[in-house]
């Protein structure tokens, strides 16, 4: 079945560093979504991508929809402490159901370097 693989699983950041993470699948996705989840809260949508090759920014965040439709990356520039959290990629299940029936990756956990 469809699966989303995120890497890295976790990473440590120092304030000011740029961060890069990606999401891959063996299946084609027609929409790629990036969410952030803080402890004890629900996921919040950061960026939505709807077209292969699309590059979209939201403040210090930039995400791209891969040309093959099987991958996407998210970059965070000049990280700040509040960037800490878990980042999920997600996409709609392909069978033609609701656009809200999403498959999520397992997440990339961002923590602050001790």
Partner 1 sequence: DTGVSQNPRHKITKRGQNVTFRCDPISEHNRLYWYRQTLGQGPEFLTYFQNEAQLEKSRLLSDRFSAERPKGSFSTLEIQRTEQGDSAMYLCASSSMGVTNSPLHFGNGTRLTVT
Residue holding tokens 């629900």? 42
Query: Which of 41, 59, 81, 114 touches partner 1 (CB under 8 A)?
Result: 41
- DSSP structure class, residue 7: E
Residue with smaller CB distance to partner 1, 16 or 41: 41
Kindly list the distances between the CA atom of residue 60 and the CA atoms of 32, 102, 104, in Å, as whole numbers in the listed order.
18, 25, 23
Instruction: Supply 74's token pair.
Output: 């998210």
- Binding range to partner 1, per CB under 8 A, among 11-19, 58-66, 68-76, 92-100: 92-100
Residue with smaller CB distance to partner 1, 5 or 68: 5
Do 85 and 36 meet the contact criterion of CB atoms below 8 Å apart?
Answer: yes
Binding of residue 97 to partner 1 (CB under 8 A) = yes
- Binding range to partner 1, per CB under 8 A, among 13-21, 45-53, 55-63, 68-76: 45-53
Do 69 and 50 meet the contact criterion of CB atoms below 8 Å apart?
Answer: no
Binding of residue 70 to partner 1 (CB under 8 A) = no
- Binding range to partner 1, per CB under 8 A, among 12-20, 51-59, 66-74, 90-98: 90-98
66: number of Cβ within 10 Å: 19
Binding of residue 91 to partner 1 (CB under 8 A) = no
């Amino acid at each position: 079945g469809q699966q989303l693989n995120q890497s890295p699983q976790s990473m440590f950041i120092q304030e000011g560093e740029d961060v890069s993470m990606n999401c891959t699948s063996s299946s084609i996705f027609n929409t790629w979504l990036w969410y952030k989840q803080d402890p004890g809260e629900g996921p919040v949508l950061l960026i939505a991508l709807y077209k292969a090759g699309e590059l979209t920014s939201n403040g210090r965040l930039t995400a791209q929809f891969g040309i093959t439709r099987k991958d996407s990356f998210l970059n965070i520039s000049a990280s700040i402490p509040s960037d800490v959290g878990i980042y999920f990629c997600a996409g709609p299940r392909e069978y033609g159901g609701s656009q809200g029936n999403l498959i999520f990756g397992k997440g990339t956990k961002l923590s602050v370097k001790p």
